[in-house]
Amino acid sequence: MKLLLFFCIFILCSCASFEEMHKDWVKANCNEDSAYSQGVEDAENGKKHDAHSYSACADTEIGKIKKAYSKGYQSVSSNPIHAPKEAFGMNEYTCRVRPFGHEYSFTSTNKVEAYKKVKTECEASNHSMHCDEIECEKVPLN
């Protein structure tokens, strides 16, 4: 009986904490300035355009907020300075995978090279199915 009571209290507290965290996120992120900044950051880091998280914002504001995110994202992707950076290898890519707690990683100005190097090293010690979850991130050179 005590265990059941503890479990119920735990669930209620967890829900309250989650609700509070959600309110804090909405307060900090559900505005056009924040969405624009996040769009810029995502584009600069080579992430896919994804305004889905703004669906948690007020229904009357979602359209404007998603539009601000897209505008920020497009401001970076349409900026001509990013094309030469890519063409001249001025970005580094770090790719990594962690099968069974052992990390394989490689950094290169060529994303394909970094990916293939990690895949090859991982497959030398593991079955290929354990080497499929390779993640790569772009790190701009200064």
Exposed, middle or buried: residue 73 (CB in 10 Å: 0-12, 13-18, 19+)? buried
Q: What is the pLDDT of residue 28?
A: 81
Amino acid code (one letter) for 92: E
Exposed, middle or buried: residue 116 (CB in 10 Å: 0-12, 13-18, 19+)? middle
**Dist. CA 113–CA 116, nearest whole Å:** 5
Structural contact between residues 26 and 56, judged by C-beta atoms closer than 8 angstroms:
yes
Is the pLDDT at 34 greater than 80? The verdict is yes
> What DSSP designation does 56 have?
G
The upper half-sphere exposure of residue 7, i.e. CA atoms within 13 Å in the direction of its Cβ, equals 4
Structural contact between residues 69 and 112, judged by C-beta atoms closer than 8 angstroms:
no
The average confidence (pLDDT) of the chain is 78
In tens, the pLDDT along 43-74 reads 777 777 887 778 888 888 888 888 888 888 88
Q: Determine the average pLDDT of the residues in 84-100.
A: 75
**Sheet strands (E) in the chain:** 91-97, 104-108, 135-140
